[in-house]
Structure 1
């Protein structure tokens, strides 16, 4: 999977290596490892430079911009709205001193380098593979370092890293790995090995959102039918297997202690008023507070980073985001911010439905990923995260590369057909 990708006798090999290091070290160079952050910055700069040099010396045709316009406009809209909110924010200093400002720089460098390197479906496949490799390397690093330095526990805590960040990257990497396999760009053996390692890593992060998201992704992947998206027969067969797994999680002591109690807290906190864990209770408080702030300023919100600034102003003991992307957007940027951010989701949904005949599997799985994101984002704030925009770009590039995949066929798997889609849809 990585043999050709890292040919260091070529500029493209160095570009790929810098990209892997940048993505893999994004969540790791935090907290106790923030002294390594200059390495992250250097990898970003060298990634952009090597991408520019590789494009220059490869003598490729100029990048066609028409298909990139929606994503670029969306990104500018979200960033501009966050920055402009300082004009009406209740806590303008929170906007001006936000970590989001350097995050925008990190994201801009990464996305520019990717745009310089992506021109066709084969380029998209390359970056999907690089993303999976980078997260796989990060996962193995966190697992081994945790057991060597901190003993058994949530991976990342030995470096004081909040595990939810790496867990989200692991979940996306798992989904991209499944998408590569379904599109005929990754072997079965490699896919199974990578998925097993990523699933183990996700379990060790103890992130229940990512556990549910990964399980749902695998379930919907297994139930895919190239003729009609979901195969009812596969659904019927898969449901008993899922029930057995759920029963095992709650009855086998080891699984219950590592996974079961967290999932029970998620279920009781979402669907009942019964006993829940402290994490669920605090999340309820965050969401309720965010909605109250939204009710005060429903149109434009109280300003970017306003929710955390409000908690600090009232002396709340645990200042954080609202742990819900919807309430965070509503509180900080109002209805305008919510619509602006999720407009890209709508764009991708329309694109996948409209051009689903070009590559049914890719369109199906992007829709699956969007559905899972919409579910998971009820419990996690993602619109401020650099990795979130890298993932969105990969999904966007995949959706706008329909027809460039020689193996896409009707079902997206090993059905070769003449390349008759060399239109604007093939250039991302």
Structure 2
């Protein structure tokens, strides 16, 4: 019993190692430093080895199979990639994410451990959000919306989505957290997240957050459907009114939501950012038609886009990015796990065997899936974490 308690106390060092990795993996400046980046990865391996003597809980799971199949598809694409250096760079990131997730998965044995890992993730990402607030010029992100700002290594959409996911997790975790210090930290990070969401001016971020809150309300007590729908309608109405009527909010994101609506309905003025992204999608579709089965190599879209438009940038669409890079084979290799998780969750929901933590993670998962029409996420920490946490939660519910 004493040895077990000692191991539990020592395991806090592994928690710290995970927090450090989450912070560095979400920080564009720190990631660019090889010593810091590889050091954070090595720290997890070393600490885990010291605590468990090299023993690793390594059951074969569908998540690991998904990661392995997608990685193999990416590595095979090196054979025919039109830009091998770009392909190699993203494959290295994917390998790191896959390895770290193996260690994360080994720690997820019950609902408590899932909530604990969510808390560690929030703490780590929170460090990055505070770093952005203290070191970056917010005005540059505003200017970047119209293509005039210089944000260096940072991407406003990435920061905004990290903030939106972080504050949504805080809303779930806050009532469950007993530590006063962590609660204060949550409040600081929550306030910082709202501030950053405002300055980033990302419509995806705002829509994600509002719909996440609505989804949580609908699934928290699904039997009270009428009451929940009334609350959701009120939240969406008030949110839309605030964004459109409050001058500061309209200036940052309201007009962009109007432009997005115009793009969907065909009525109104579409902003230059939306038009440019539509052009990128068109470039991707044309490229996909010429090589629909295997694509042009992972992370090769930017090379094709540079030739077609003069802009050496990614497609801003996860589906297009994978379709161009890996073709139909890549789309299946990547998205089959999404279909599996969706099927498993709906099955549990129908049989009323789903827990609230699973429903919460499913809301984040499904909304993040929809944001992929405007984001490239296949090599991002957020997506790999959400998939793993939901996968483990569904597994526990199934038992």
Question: TM-score category by the smaller chain?
Answer: 0.7 to 0.9
Q: Do the aligned partners of 1:290 and 1:307 also contact (CA within 8 Å) in 2?
A: yes
Residue 114 (structure 2) pairs with residue 124 (structure 1): yes
Residues 1:44 and 2:31 are matched in the alignment = no
- The reply to whether residue 201 of structure 1 matches residue 209 of structure 2 is no
The C-alpha deviation readout for 1:332-369, integer Å capped at 9, x for no partner, is 22222212211111121222233343433233223322
- The alpha carbon displacement at 1:231 in A equals 2.0
| Secondary structure of residue in 2 paired with 1:224 | helix
Q: Relative to structure 1, is the Cα distance of residues 160 and 177 closer, same or farther in structure 2, using a 3 angstrom cutoff?
A: same
RMSD: 3.1
Q: What's 1:177 paired with? A: 170
TM-score normalised to structure 1 length:
0.79
Contact persistence 2:22–2:121 (CA under 8 A):
yes
For the 8 Å contact 1:225–1:231, the answer to whether it is kept is: no
Q: Distance in 2 between matches of 1:45 and 1:119?
A: 23
Match status 1:13 vs 2:28: no
> Residue 375 in 1 paired to residue 370 in 2?
yes
Match of 1:280 in 2: 274
Q: Name stretches of at least 5 consecutive residues in structure 2 with no aligned partner.
A: 1-5, 145-149
Distance 1:362 1:282, change over 3 A: same
Within the candidate set 286, 299, 314, 2:293 is matched to 299
- Where does the alignment leave 5 or more consecutive residues of structure 1 unmatched? 1-6, 404-424
Q: Structure 2 matches for 1:50-65, cutoff 5 A?
A: 50-56=47-53, 63=57, 65=59
Going from structure 1 to structure 2, the CA distance change for 1:151 and 1:335 (only over 3 Å counts) comes to closer
Q: Which residue of 1 aligns with 2:334?
A: 341
1:67-102 C-alpha deviation (Å, 9 max, x unpaired)? x5200110011111111123344x1x3367532122
What is the alpha-carbon distance in structure 2 between the residues aligned to residue 205 and residue 151 of structure 1? 8
Cα offsets for 1:212-255 (capped at 9, x unmatched): 11111012212334343x72222123313422221221122111
* Alignment check: 8 A CA contact 2:26 2:381 kept: no
Look up the match of 1:320: 313
**Counterpart pick for 1:330 among 317, 323, 327:** 323
Q: Is the 8 A contact 2:259 2:268 kept in 1?
A: no
Structure 1, 39-48 or 298-307: larger mean CA deviation: 298-307
Question: Per-residue deviation at 1:10?
Answer: 4.3
1:162 Cα deviation after fit: 1.4
Name the counterpart of 2:344.
351
* 2:236 alignment partner in structure 1: 242
